[in-house]
A and B are shown apart, each in its own frame.
Chain A
Amino acid sequence: MKKIIQYLVVVSSLFLTWGCKESFLDLAPISNPNAGNFYKTKADFDLAATAAYTTLYTVYDAQGPISYVGELMGDNVTINAIPGNQADKWQFRDYTITPANTMVYQFWQNFYKSLYNVNLVLDKLEGADLDAAYKTKLRGEMLFLRSLYYYNMVQIWGEVPLVTRTLTAAEAQALPRTPVAEINAQIMKDLTEAKSALPVTATVVGRATKGAVQTLLGKQYLVMGDKTNAGKEFLEVYNSKQYSLLPSFASLWDPKTKNTKESIFEIQYLGGSPTSPFSTYYREFFPSTNVLGFYGSGMNQVVDNVWNEFEAKDSRKQASIDTGFVDAKGTFNAARFPKKWADKTAPVVGQNIAANNNFIVFRYADLLLLLTEATGDAKYMNEVRARVGLPAYGESGYPQKYNTVALALEHERRMELAFEFHRWFDLKRTNRAIPVLKEKGKSVTEEKLLLPIPTFVRDQNAIITQNKGY
C-alpha cells in the first residue's frame, strides 16, 4: 500500500516538474520554415531572391494584369466563353469594367503582393551582414522588378499608393494614392541606381541585367514624353553589341529555344513536369475547353482584323497565329489563336499541359522599334523588317497606307510583337488608343484608359479615391 502511495507521489511530481517546462509550449512549425530566423545568410537571400523573381509569373501570367490590359483591352484578341467569372472578363474587351470587377481587384492584389515580396528582400538586405558587391547587385535586381511593376501600374491605374518598403496594416491604412509624378520620380531613381548596379551580362541566366534596366528606363522616358533621353538609353543598349536579332523569326518560338541573343529580359519556365514551374500560355490560349485531354481556356483568341493586317509575304503571320486544331474525333476545327507559346509535345498533366516556353518581356526587336519611336529614324525598324524579308519603310513594295514613320511603326509593332502583351500599352503611349480602338467598335473614352480602383479596396480604406468616370 505504502508503495502505491510513494509511486503516486513520484509519478505526479514527475508530471508536475516535467510539465512545468515552458518549452513544452514552444512548438516550432514542422512543415513550414519559420520567417523569424530567415534572412540571415547569403543562402537565405538566394532563396528570397529566387522567390522575388516568381512574382513575374503572377504579373505576366496569361490570366494576369499585363495580358488582360495589354491584349484584351486592345484590338488583337477576344476571348471564348472561358471558365471563371466570364462577365468580368468580357468587361475588359468591351470597356464596360465596373469597380466591382473581380479581375481588377485580383490584379491589384497581384501587383501589391509582388511588390511586397520585392520590398521584403530590399528591407532585409538593408541590415544584412553580407559582402557589399552581392548586396549591390541583388538590390539592383529588386529595384528593377519594382520599377517594372510600377511602370505598368501607373499606366493601368494612374495614381496608386506608392509602397517602397514593407508596411504594417496601420501604415497601409494611412497611405493614400500617390501622384503619378512622384511614382515616376521613384521609378527613375530606382532605375538609375539599378543601371549602375547591374552587370551587362547576367551571372545567372534570367536575372536582370543593365540592358534590361536601360530598356525599361527608355520606355519610362517614352511614357513621360522624353524621347531624347529615351533614345539615349536605347542607343546605349544598341551599341553595347550584347544583343542581336535571331536569323529566323520562327525559331524564336521554339519551346526549347531560350535566352537567345535577342532576349533582353525573359521570364524563365521549365516544362515537362507538373511539379516544376511550367508555362501556362499554351493552355490558356488554346481555344477549346477540352479536346486534347487538357483544359484550354480560350484566352486571347485572334480577331480577323489583326490576321488581315499582316502583309501578304509576312511569314510572321504563320509563326504567330495557329489556325485550328484537330479534335478527339480527328476533325479539324478552325480557330485562330496565338502560336508563339505552343509546345505541342509537352506532357498533359491532369487538366494542364506542362509547356516549356519562356516569356520574353523585352526583346531586341522591341528595342529596335522603340529606337525608331524615340529617334524617328526608320532604319532600326527596317532591321526588324529585313529579318523576315519584307521591304524596308521607304522602299518600293512597302504598303502605302502606312505613310508616316509613326503609322509604319504602329503597324510594325502590331505585327512583330503580336500577342506579346504590348498592344494596348503601345496605343496608349502613342496617344492612338482612342481613334484606333473606336474604329474597331470599342466604346473607349479617355477615362476608360484607366482601370477603376476596385470597390473592395475603397471599402477597406476610405482615403483611397476613385478614378474619374467610375
Chain B
Amino acid sequence: MKKVLSSLFLVFLVAQGIRAQSVSVSGTVTSSGSEGSLPGVSVIIKGTQRGTTTNADGAFQIEVPDQQATLVFSFVGYKTVERVVGSQSQLSVQLSPDNQVLDEVVVVGYGTQSKRAVTGSVISVNYDKFKDRSFSNVTQSLAGTMPGVNISQSQGAPGASPVIKIRGVSSITAGTNPLIVVDGVPLENFNLNLINPQDIESIEVLKDASSAAIYGSRGSSGVILVTTKMGKPGKANVSANIEYGTQEVVRRVKMMDAQQFIETYVDAKNNAWMAQGGKASDPNNLRPATLRIPEDFTTNPGQFGKGTDWQEVMFRKAPSFNAQVSVSGGTEKTQYMFSGAYLDQTAVLDNNYYKRLTMRSNVRTEVNKHLTVGLNLGITSIFDRTEGTSGKSDVISLGLQSSPIFPVYNENGNLGFRDPNSTWFKYTAYPDMNLWHPYSLTREAEKSRKSFNTIATGFLEYKIVDDLRFRTSLSGNLYNARADFYWKDKQKYGYSAVLPAQGNAGNNYMLNWLSENTLTYDKHLGDHSVTGLLGYTVQKQRDETMYVAANNFPNDLVQTLNAGTVSAGNTTASEWALISYLARVQYNYNNRYFLSGAIRRDGMSRFGADNKWGYFPSVSAGWLISEEAFMGNIKAVNNLKLRVSYGVTGNNQIPNYGAVSLLGSAPYVNGGTLANGLVVSGLANSGLKWEKTDQSNIGVDIGLFKNRITASVELYNSLTRDMLLFVPIPDITGFSTQLSNIGKMRNRGVEFAISTKNINRALTWTTDFNIAHNKNKVLQLGPNNAPIQYVDNVTTVRTEVGQPVSNFFGYIFDGVFKNQAEIDAYPHHASTTPGDPKVRDVNGDGKISDADRTILGNYQPDFIGGITNTFGYKGFELSFLFQGSFGGEIVNNNIRFLGTWDNGRNFFEDMYGYWRSESEPGDGRHFKPSVNYLGLQKQFSSYWVEDASFVRLKNIRVSYSLPNQLISRLNIKDVRVYMNAENVYLFSKYIGYDPENTTYGTTSYSSSMETASNYTSGNAPVPGAFQGVDYGSYPLPRVITFGIKASF
C-alpha cells in the first residue's frame, strides 16, 4: 500500500518536471446553419483527454500547453473541426452539420470496420462507458446496458465472473459461454478478471451469426472482442487513478432467531411423534432417539435469547483499494502504452480477500513503409482467498444452516458444542444439532490461491503492395494457479465433525498458443470499394493439473504438507487443437450499399474421426437509406439504415476427449495384494460433430433530428441443430448419459435500444434505454422426442419439445389443508393430515401420483432491459442505471434444508408462518414441520420455485472535472473526482440473497481457469441445465467507491 502510494507520488513529480509554458485561448463556436451559437460543444486538446465544453452562448476558454497545440471541436451531428492554436488567443469556429456520423470505427473479427459499414449486429462500447466503474471484470460494468446481452452475477464474491448469455441459451448441455477475443486472440472460457478494465479501449459484442461466423466453430454463443489501449502520436500522456471503496451485504437472508427456531424444532418433533401415536407432552424417555427434544428447549428456551445471527458473524463491511498509473503516447511511427495497476479488495466474507496486480505493455512501430511490428503483453497475478461460492457445503450456506442457539464462542473460547470440556457438549447427544461455525472454515483453515497469467501477442504486418497486407502473429496465453489448504486440528470444535488436521495443494497449468496468418486486400475504385481477407490459423491448448493431499500432522505448527503424511496425489493432462481457414469479402458501393460474405473452415481435435471438420458460412447486406436522394426531403431523419444477415456458427464446447471411450481405474484385491483394473468409464461416440446454429438477423438503425434521438431495432431467428447433448439413456446400458448430436432448438427475439438527448445545453440530459425479448423453444429431441430430464439434489429439470430448455418440473402445492374437511374434499396423498400441503391433482384423475408433476417455471426471463440517465452540468456528471429482468423463475433449492425440516438445520424466517392448528392456520402457504415428512413435502414442488423478476438500481455515478482554469496552472491536463455506487438497491420478492444467484454455472469443459462455470454443486451431469437454481450463494454486496483520476 505504502509502496504504491510512494510510486504514485513519484509519477506525479515526474509529470511536474516535464511541464512547459501554457497559453490561454478563448472563443465561440457557431453552426454554419441557422442554429447560431452552439452550446455543449466539446473542445479537447488533441492527443489528451483534457478539454472543456462551450457554455450556453457557445463560448469557451481553455489553457493549452503551447502554441503548437491543436484543439478538436466536436459535437454530435456536426463534423469535427481541428484548429492549431498558433498565435491566436481568440478563436471563432464554425461547425457544419454532418449527416455521415457513422464513421466511428468498430472492431470486428480479424479487422476493423467503419460503423456505417456494419451489416451484422454488433454492440460497441468504449472506455468512457465504464471508466469509473469499480468492477474487476469489465463485463460486470456492462450489465444492463447492452440489448440482448444478459450479464448476471451468479456469485457476489470479489473476482467471481458473471454468467454472460447473448441472445438466449443456444445449447442445452454444451457450453454456452461466449468466446472471448483479447486483442485478436480467441480464448475459450477466458476469465476477464485477468484484464484490467482500465487498460481496455473498447468492447465489441458480436451478437448475430454473420458477425460471429468468422469465429466459426466457437461463435454460436456470441463473441466478445476486447481491445486494449494504444498510445496516440503526440506528447506522453500520464494518467493516474486512486480509488477507495467499501462493500457491504445490505440484503441478508431472513433466518429464524433462536426463539423461533426452538419453537419450530419442538413442533417438528412433536408433529412426528403425534403422527406415530404419541402425545406432545410425552417426555423423552417415551420417545425414540430421533424424536427427543433437548430439555432446555422445553423448560427454559428463554435462556437462548435471540441466539446468534451467523450472517452477522461471517459478513463484515469490507474496504477495497485500487490504484493505477499509465503512460501512453508516441510518434507517427511508434506508439506505446504502459500501465500498472493494483487492486486490494477485502471480501465481505470473513478472512477472504482478492488482490490483483496487472501490468501491460503495448508497443507498435513502423520499421519502414512496408513493415510494422508490435507486441502486446499483459501480465496479471491474482492472490485470493475465495470461499462461499460453491453452494450448499460452503461457508455461507453452512452458516445459514447452523443452529442459532449456539454462541459465537463457548466458555473455553472454542467455537462449538463438540468441545468435550464445554457445558454445550451435552448437545452431542442429539444427532440433529447443527453447527458449521463460519470461523471453523475461515479462521481454522488456511486457504490461499495464487494465479499468474501472461498473455502476449507479437505481430508483424507487411505491406506487400499498397492494397495488400500480410499479417502474421504469434500469441501465447500462459496461466498458472496454485492453491493451498490447511485445516487445523479439531477446528476448535466448530465444524460438524471434529476432524484431525489435513492439508492439500493443487496446481493448474494452461498453455494456449495461436498462430494467425492473414492477407488483407483493400481496393477503392471510384464508388466501389472491396476488402478481402484470407487467413489460416492454428491453435493448441494443454491443461495440466496436480493435486497432493496429506494428513497425520503432528500439530498445527508446520502447515506445509511435508509435516504430514501424503495420503493422495495425482496429476492429469489434456489437450485440444484447432486448425482454421477463413475468407471474407466486403464490398460497398458509394458508401451506401454494403455486402459482406465470409466462410470459415474449422478442424477440431475434440470431435469424432469422421467429423473433425466443419464449414461456417455467412452473408450480410446493409443499405444506408438516408443517403438516397428521395430521403433528402425528410429532414428529420438524418440516418436510416437497414441491415440483413444470415450465418452459421458452431459450438465446440464439449470435453476434450468427448468422442473417445475412456478407461478408468478400478483396483481390486487379488489374493491379498492390490491389483489394477481398468473399466470403461464412458460410452464412445465416434460420430460426434459440431453443434451448428443458423441465425438470421434484420436490423434498422435510425437517427432523428441530427441524432438527438438514435434508435435501433433488431429481430433475429436462430436455429440450433445437431445439439451436443448429454442425452439421458436408460440406465440398463450401464450409463446414464451419452454425448450425442440430436435435436433442434430455436431462439427468436427482438431487441430495441434508444438514446435520446433530452436536454442539450449547458445542462445536458441523456437517456439510454434498451430492452430485449428472447423466446427459446425446443423443436426436436432424440428418438421419439423423449423428454430429457435431469435430477440433482431433488430439483428436477425437464426439457421437452415445444417448451424452453430446462423447465422446472414437479408438483404444485396449493397451500395447506387447514382441516380434515378440506382434506376429505380433495384428492390427497395417503399420509395427509391437517397442516400438510395441498398437492394439486394436475391430471384430475382423483389421486396424487407422479403423473401430477408438471411445469413449474423456467429461469429464462421474458424481458431484460436497462435504462441509464446521465446529467451533465459544468464539469459535473451524474448518472444512474436501472437494470431489470422480468418473467423468469428461480429455484430456491435451499428450501430443501432451510424451508423444511432437515435434520435440525435452521429455517427461513418466512417459514415461521407455518400451520400450527386449525385455530392457528398460519399464512396458508407453509405446511407444518415434521421430523418425518410422510408425504411429498420434501419432493420438488412449486414450494421451491420463486419469481426471479427484479429491478435493480445497479449503478449511481457522480463525477466532477475540476475546472481548467484551476488545474492548468498546475500543468495537469485533467482531474476528475468521482463517486460510484454499485448494486445500490434491489427490488425483488426472492427470499434468498439475490435472484441472479445460481449455484450451477454454465457448462464449460476443459478449462483450468476460474470462470463463472466453476461454481457447481452436486453431481449434475450438466450444470448448464440447472441454471437458475440457487443452492447456497454468495450475496452481491453494495459497493461504494470514491476515486480521483488525473492526467498530465
Bound Cα distance from A166 to B679, whole angstroms: 13
Which B residues touch A329, using CB under 8 A? 420-421, 425
Which A residues touch B675, using CB under 8 A? 50
B933 x A87 contact (CB < 8 A):
yes
Bound Cα distance from A57 to B432, whole angstroms: 30
A87 x B932 contact (CB < 8 A):
yes
19 new A-B pairs (CB below 8 Å) besides A35-B660, A116-B734? A5-B462, A12-B470, A15-B536, A25-B578, A27-B605, A29-B574, A29-B656, A49-B677, A51-B679, A57-B668, A87-B933, A102-B794, A117-B734, A173-B730, A268-B670, A277-B668, A288-B431, A329-B420, A456-B789
Specify the chain A residue showing the minimal Cβ separation from B537.
A19
Q: Identify which of B428, B668, B789 gathers the most chain A CB atoms within 10 Å of its CB.
A: B668
A36 x B732 contact (CB < 8 A):
no
Q: Identify which of A24, A32, A330, A349 gathers the most chain B CB atoms within 10 Å of its CB.
A: A32
Which A residues touch B604, using CB under 8 A? 25
Which B residues touch A22, using CB under 8 A? 603, 612
Please report B residues at the A interface, Cβ cutoff 8 Å. 289-290, 368, 370-371, 418, 420-421, 425, 428, 431-432, 460, 462, 464, 470, 472, 496-500, 502, 515, 517, 536, 538, 540, 551, 567-568, 571-579, 603-605, 609, 612, 656-657, 660-664, 666-681, 684, 727-736, 738, 740, 783-784, 786-787, 789, 791, 794, 850, 903, 932-934, 938-939
B733 x A167 contact (CB < 8 A):
yes
Given contacts A25-B604, A293-B500, are A51 and B666 in contact (CB under 8 A)? yes
Which B residues touch A117, using CB under 8 A? 679-680, 734
Which B residues touch A456, using CB under 8 A? 789, 791
**Would you list 28 pairs from A and B whose C-beta atoms are within 8 A, ordered by A residue?**
A4-B371, A8-B472, A22-B612, A34-B662, A35-B680, A50-B675, A50-B676, A54-B666, A86-B903, A99-B850, A161-B732, A167-B732, A169-B733, A169-B740, A173-B729, A269-B669, A275-B568, A277-B667, A288-B431, A289-B431, A289-B496, A290-B499, A298-B431, A327-B428, A328-B418, A349-B551, A460-B728, A460-B731
- Name the 4 nearest CB pairs between A and B, nearest first: A116-B734, A51-B677, A50-B677, A290-B497
Which A residues touch B660, using CB under 8 A? 28-29, 34-36
A91 CB → nearest B CB, Å? 10
Bound Cα distance from A461 to B850, whole angstroms: 14
A116 x B735 contact (CB < 8 A):
yes
B674 x A270 contact (CB < 8 A):
yes
Find residues 47-68 in chain A having any chain B CB closer than 8 Å to their own CB. 47-54, 57
Bound Cα distance from A284 to B489, whole angstroms: 23
Specify the chain A residue showing the minimal Cβ separation from B545.
A31
Which B residues touch A47, using CB under 8 A? 676-678
B674 x A15 contact (CB < 8 A):
no
Which A residues touch B605, using CB under 8 A? 24-27
Which A residues touch B431, using CB under 8 A? 80-81, 288-289, 298
Which B residues touch A274, using CB under 8 A? 567-568
Bound Cα distance from A180 to B726, whole angstroms: 33
Specify the chain B residue showing the minimal Cβ separation from A99.
B850
Given contacts A25-B579, A205-B670, A351-B499, are A8 and B470 in contact (CB under 8 A)? yes
A172 x B497 contact (CB < 8 A):
no
Which B residues touch A86, using CB under 8 A? 903
Find residues 1-38 in chain A having any chain B CB closer than 8 Å to their own CB. 1, 4-5, 8, 11-12, 15-16, 19-20, 22, 24-36, 38
Given contacts A29-B660, A54-B679, A113-B734, are A170 and B783 in contact (CB under 8 A)? yes
Which A residues touch B667, using CB under 8 A? 50, 54, 276-277
Specify the chain A residue showing the minimal Cβ separation from B657.
A29
Partner of A175, one of B656, B663, B732, B784: B732
Partner of B662, one of A32, A48, A99, A269: A32
B574 x A100 contact (CB < 8 A):
no
B734 x A36 contact (CB < 8 A):
no
Bound Cα distance from A393 to B277, whole angstroms: 41
The proximity string for A residues 101-138 relative to B, scoring 1 for CB distances below 8 Å and 0 otherwise, is: 01000001100110111011000000000000000000
Residue A295 at the chain B interface, CB threshold 8 Å: yes
Residue A390 at the chain B interface, CB threshold 8 Å: no
B730 x A460 contact (CB < 8 A):
yes
Residue A439 at the chain B interface, CB threshold 8 Å: no
Q: Once A and B bind, how many residue pairs between them come within 8 Å at the CB atom?
A: 260
Bound Cα distance from A16 to B464, whole angstroms: 19
Specify the chain A residue showing the minimal Cβ separation from B495.
A290
B515 x A15 contact (CB < 8 A):
yes
Which A residues touch B668, using CB under 8 A? 50-51, 53-54, 57, 206, 268, 277
Bound Cα distance from A99 to B849, whole angstroms: 10
B789 x A459 contact (CB < 8 A):
yes
Which B residues touch A172, using CB under 8 A? 729-730, 732-733
Bound Cα distance from A29 to B680, whole angstroms: 14
A15 x B538 contact (CB < 8 A):
yes
Partner of B536, one of A5, A16, A28, A349: A16
Which B residues touch A87, using CB under 8 A? 932-933, 938
Bound Cα distance from A461 to B786, whole angstroms: 8
Residue A455 at the chain B interface, CB threshold 8 Å: yes
Q: Identify which of B418, B577, B730 gathers the most chain A CB atoms within 10 Å of its CB.
A: B730
A170 CB → nearest B CB, Å? 6
Find residues 340-386 in chain A having any chain B CB closer than 8 Å to their own CB. 348-351
Partner of A53, one of B289, B497, B536, B677: B677
Residue A325 at the chain B interface, CB threshold 8 Å: no
B188 CB → nearest A CB, Å? 15
Partner of B727, one of A116, A169, A277: A169
A290 x B678 contact (CB < 8 A):
no
B275 CB → nearest A CB, Å? 11
Specify the chain A residue showing the minimal Cβ separation from B612.
A25
Residue A457 at the chain B interface, CB threshold 8 Å: yes
Specify the chain B residue showing the minimal Cβ separation from A258.
B672
Partner of A15, one of B502, B517, B573, B733: B517
Which A residues touch B740, using CB under 8 A? 169
Residue A204 at the chain B interface, CB threshold 8 Å: yes
Residue A229 at the chain B interface, CB threshold 8 Å: no
Bound Cα distance from A350 to B501, whole angstroms: 8
A205 x B671 contact (CB < 8 A):
yes
Residue A186 at the chain B interface, CB threshold 8 Å: no
Residue A192 at the chain B interface, CB threshold 8 Å: no
Find residues 431-470 in chain A having any chain B CB closer than 8 Å to their own CB. 455-461
Specify the chain B residue showing the minimal Cβ separation from A269.
B669
B551 x A460 contact (CB < 8 A):
no
Residue A96 at the chain B interface, CB threshold 8 Å: yes
Which A residues touch B574, using CB under 8 A? 29-31
Residue A163 at the chain B interface, CB threshold 8 Å: yes
Residue A238 at the chain B interface, CB threshold 8 Å: no
Specify the chain B residue showing the minimal Cβ separation from A276.
B674
Q: Identify which of B431, B609, B666, B676 gathers the most chain A CB atoms within 10 Å of its CB.
A: B666
Specify the chain A residue showing the minimal Cβ separation from B831.
A96
Bound Cα distance from A116 to B680, whole angstroms: 9
A50 x B734 contact (CB < 8 A):
no
Bound Cα distance from A83 to B578, whole angstroms: 46
Specify the chain A residue showing the minimal Cβ separation from B609.
A26
Residue A90 at the chain B interface, CB threshold 8 Å: yes
Partner of B603, one of A25, A34, A38, A204: A25
Residue A400 at the chain B interface, CB threshold 8 Å: no
Which B residues touch A328, using CB under 8 A? 418, 420, 498
Bound Cα distance from A40 to B146, whole angstroms: 57
Partner of B579, one of A5, A24, A170, A458: A24
Specify the chain A residue showing the minimal Cβ separation from B900.
A87
A388 CB → nearest B CB, Å? 28
Residue A396 at the chain B interface, CB threshold 8 Å: no
A168 x B733 contact (CB < 8 A):
yes
Partner of B783, one of A54, A173, A330, A348: A173
Which A residues touch B371, using CB under 8 A? 4
Bound Cα distance from A108 to B787, whole angstroms: 20
Specify the chain B residue showing the minimal Cβ separation from A161.
B732
A452 CB → nearest B CB, Å? 10
Partner of B669, one of A99, A166, A277, A457: A277
